[in-house]
Amino acid sequence: TQVVTSFPDVSASAPYAEAVNTLHEYGIINGDNKGNFNPNSSVTRAEAAAIICRLLGMEEEAKQARTTSFTDVPTNHWANGYVAKAAEQGIINGYGSGKFGPSDSVTYLQLAKMLVCVWGYGDDADARGGWPTGFIDVARDKGYFSGIYGGQNENADRSMVALMVYNSLKG
């Protein structure tokens, strides 16, 4: 099948093109203000929280939420509601000491943990050893890492985040 992409910087033959296109159609991921996807750019933890909220259909609720659950995500931070909503759902955690690290790049492992929790497999992951091994095992078993390049502690770029989220829809 021919994949037509929504973004000029995503080749129709790219291994992540279908994922990017589908998630864009669902309103889960967006491009920049110039209409580009920027597949090689990193994704921050704040952006990952926004993607998770959209995936859960909670974007409007998240936009309304304002909280100080993390000292480094003030109420005027653009992602405050997304981070708060994802934390409230038990999908994301901070680093401890009240910090979330909204500008830090999300790693493959952190994203895998988020997706495992989004789809309700957190207890399964905990039963299999918890953080990080149990989450890696569940994510691998569910196919979230299919087609992914990069080590678990490496930062996930936009193309790979799209592919992991898309894979999770199929798992």
Going by pLDDT thresholds of 50, 70 and 90, the confidence category of residue 158 is: very high
Question: Of 22, 12, 76, 9, which Cα lies nearest the Cα of 54?
Answer: 22
Going by pLDDT thresholds of 50, 70 and 90, the confidence category of residue 124 is: very high
Give the tens place of pLDDT for each residue, 11-32: 999 999 999 999 999 999 999 9
Q: What is the pTM of this model?
A: 0.93
Query: In this structure, are residues 39 and 158 in contact, taking their beta carbons and an 8 Å threshold?
Result: yes
